[in-house]
Amino acid sequence: MGWFINIFILLPVLGFVLSLIVPKRNEYMLSWVAFTSVGAQLFTAIGFIVYWLFNQHEVLNLKEFSFFKANGYDFYIDFYFDHVTMTYLLIGALLTFIITVYSRYYLHREEGYKRFFNVIMFFYLGYNIVIFSGNLETLFIGWEFLGISSFLLIAFYRDRYLPVKNAVKVFSIYRIGDVGLILAMWLSHHFWHENISFQKLNNYNLVHEHLAGHSMIGFTIAFLIFISAAAKSAQLPFSSWLPRAMEGPTPSSAIFYGSLSVHMGAFLLMRTYTFWEHQISFRIFVIVLGLLTSIIATFTARVQSSVKSQIAYSSISQIGLIFIEIALGLESVALVHVAGNAFLRTYQLLVSPSVVSYKIREQFYNYVPRPKTIEDSWPKRFEYSLYILSLKEWNLDGWMYRRMWNPLKKLGSTWGFLTFKNIYIFFGAIFVVGLFLAINREFISPRWKEYLPVIFAFFGLLLVIKAFTERASVRLSWSLIITNHFAIALAISFNEDFAFSHHVWYLSGVLLSGLLGYLVIQRMRNLKEWISLDKFYGHAYEHPKMALMFLLACLGVAGFPITPTFIGEDLIFSHIKENQVLLAFFISMSLIINGLAAIRIYARIFLGPHVKTYHEVAKRSS
Write down the pLDDT at residue 396: 81
Residue 177 predicted with pLDDT over 70: yes
622 to each of 161, 249, 308, 357, 590, how far by Cα in Å? Answer: 8, 11, 13, 18, 33
CB-CB neighbours of 613 under 10 Å: 7
Q: How confident is the model at residue 163 (pLDDT cuts 50, 70, 90)?
A: confident
Residue 395, sorted as left (phi over 0), alpha (psi -120 to 50) or beta, turns out to be left
Query: Is the pTM for the entire model greater than 0.85?
Result: yes
Write down the pLDDT at residue 226: 93
Q: Which of 51-60, 167-176, 601-610 has the lowest mean pLDDT?
A: 51-60
Please list, in sequence order, all residues whose beta carbon lies within 8 angstroms of the beta carbon of residue 461, skipping any fewer than 6 positions away. Answer: 484, 586, 589, 590, 593
At 133 the three-state DSSP class reads strand
- Distance of alpha carbon 10 from its chain centroid, rounded? 22
Write down the pLDDT at residue 518: 92
- Across 586-595, b (16+ Cβ under 10 Å) vs e yields bbbbbbbbbb
* Count of alpha carbons within 13 angstroms of residue 282, beta-carbon side: 24
In contact, 174 and 239? CB cutoff 8 Å: no
Q: Which of 169-183, 312-326, 528-542 has the lowest mean pLDDT?
A: 528-542
For residue 2, the 8-state DSSP code is: T
Nearest to 537 by CA among 591, 609, 453: 609
Q: How confident is the model at residue 616 (pLDDT cuts 50, 70, 90)?
A: low
More confident residue, 360 or 622: 360
Residue 422 predicted with pLDDT over 80: no
CA distance 145 to 290: 26
Mean pLDDT, range 510-534, rounded to an integer: 85
SS3 track for 58-94 = CCEEEEEEEEEEECCEEEEEEEEECHHHHHHHHHHHH
Nearest to 495 by CA among 586, 583, 429, 585: 583
pLDDT tens, position by position, 424-448: 777 778 878 877 777 776 777 777 7
Whether omega before 407 lies within 30 degrees of 0, making that bond cis, reads no
Write down the pLDDT at residue 365: 62
CB-CB neighbours of 382 under 10 Å: 10
In contact, 471 and 555? CB cutoff 8 Å: no
The DSSP element (H or E) to which 352 belongs, if any, is: helix 331-365
Write down the pLDDT at residue 611: 77
More confident residue, 1 or 307: 307
Q: How confident is the model at residue 375 (pLDDT cuts 50, 70, 90)?
A: confident
- Distance of alpha carbon 294 from its chain centroid, rounded? 22
pLDDT tens, position by position, 546-582: 999 999 999 988 888 878 888 888 778 877 887 888 8
Write down the pLDDT at residue 374: 75
In contact, 457 and 488? CB cutoff 8 Å: yes
CA–CA–CA angle 474, 477, 480 (5° rounding): 145
C-alpha Rg value of the chain to the nearest Å: 25
Residue 202 predicted with pLDDT over 90: no
Nearest to 316 by CA among 404, 257, 382: 257
Which of the listed ranges 197-201, 552-556, 618-622 does the model predict with the highest average pLDDT? 552-556
Mean pLDDT, range 6-24, rounded to an integer: 89
Domain spans of the chain, in order of start: 3-360, 414-606
Write down the pLDDT at residue 318: 93
Q: How confident is the model at residue 90 (pLDDT cuts 50, 70, 90)?
A: very high
The DSSP element (H or E) to which 433 belongs, if any, is: helix 423-439
What single letter denotes the amino acid at residue 159? D
- Distance of alpha carbon 54 from its chain centroid, rounded? 37
CA distance 148 to 560: 9
CA–CA–CA angle 613, 616, 619 (5° rounding): 105
Q: How confident is the model at residue 496 (pLDDT cuts 50, 70, 90)?
A: low
CA distance 245 to 70: 41
- With 0-12 / 13-18 / 19 or more C-beta atoms within 10 angstroms meaning exposed / middle / buried, residue 123 is buried
- With 0-12 / 13-18 / 19 or more C-beta atoms within 10 angstroms meaning exposed / middle / buried, residue 291 is middle
Give me the chain's average pLDDT, please: 84
More confident residue, 429 or 522: 522
Mean pLDDT, range 268-291, rounded to an integer: 91
pLDDT tens, position by position, 315-372: 999 999 999 999 998 999 999 999 999 999 888 888 877 776 666 666 666 666 777 7
CA distance 399 to 410: 16
Please list, in sequence order, all residues whose beta carbon lies within 8 angstroms of the beta carbon of residue 498, skipping any fewer than 6 positions away. Answer: 492, 575
Write down the pLDDT at residue 529: 64
For residue 321, the 8-state DSSP code is: H
Write down the pLDDT at residue 619: 57
Mean pLDDT, range 251-265, rounded to an integer: 83
Write down the pLDDT at residue 622: 44
CA distance 446 to 496: 12
For residue 197, the 8-state DSSP code is: B
Write down the pLDDT at residue 1: 62
CA distance 65 to 83: 24
- Of all residues in the chain, the percent with pLDDT exceeding 70 is 92
454 to each of 202, 217, 460, how far by Cα in Å? Answer: 36, 21, 10
Longest dimension (CA), the chain: 86
Mean pLDDT, range 305-320, rounded to an integer: 88
Task: For the chain, give the number of residues.
Answer: 622
pLDDT tens, position by position, 452-479: 888 888 888 888 888 888 888 888 889 8
Please list, in sequence order, all residues whose beta carbon lies within 8 angstroms of the beta carbon of residue 149, skipping any fewer than 6 positions away. Answer: 119, 120, 122, 123, 126
